Amino acid sequence: MTFLELLKELEARLGYHQIPLNAGATSLKNLFESIPLHHDFMRRLAQAIYSANRCRTLRDAVEREATFEAFAPLRLEALRGERTDVDLVRMIEELCVALDQIFGPVAPARARRKLSVPAQVIDLARFRRRRWLKSPA
C-alpha cells in the first residue's frame, strides 16, 4: 500500500471533513484540498507517517509498524494535552480502529519469531534420586 492509498482509505473511513485530500496532490505541501477539522494534528500525522516510512513521494510504500510508531507519540501527546477536546479524542480512537482495519490483523509475536536452534529434550530420569520417606511410627 502506498502513502496516498493509505490516506485515501482513511478519508473514506473517517470522512472528507477529517481528511480532505487533494485528488491532484503531488507533495505533502498540497496534500489537503481544504483545511481538515483538526488541521494541526492531521498535518503533523501526515508528516510523521511520511517520515517514518521514509517516503520520498506520495506513491512510496508504507508499512504497518512504521505507521503505528509514527502515530503513537502524536496520539499520546494529544490525549495528555490540556486543550484536547472530545472531538479530537473521538477522531483519534476512530483513526486507531481505521488504521488497524486497513493494515489487517497483525501476526502474534510467537508466530513471527523464528527459533534459531531447535529445542532439546533432556531425560531427567537418570538425574533423579529416589527418596523414601520414613515414617516416625
- The pTM assigned to this predicted structure is 0.73
Distance (Å, rounded) from C-alpha 37 to C-alpha 17?
A: 6
| 34-92: pLDDT as tens digits | 998 899 999 999 999 999 999 999 999 999 999 999 999 999 999 998 888 899 999 99
pLDDT digits (tens, 9 = 90+) for 113-125: 555 666 677 776 7
8-17, 79-88, 102-111 — which is least confidently predicted? Answer: 102-111
Contacts 24+ apart (CB under 8 A), 84-89: 87/37, 87/38, 88/38, 88/41
Q: Where are the domains of the chain?
A: 3-108
pLDDT, tens digit, 9 for 90 and up, residues 123-136: 767 666 655 555 66
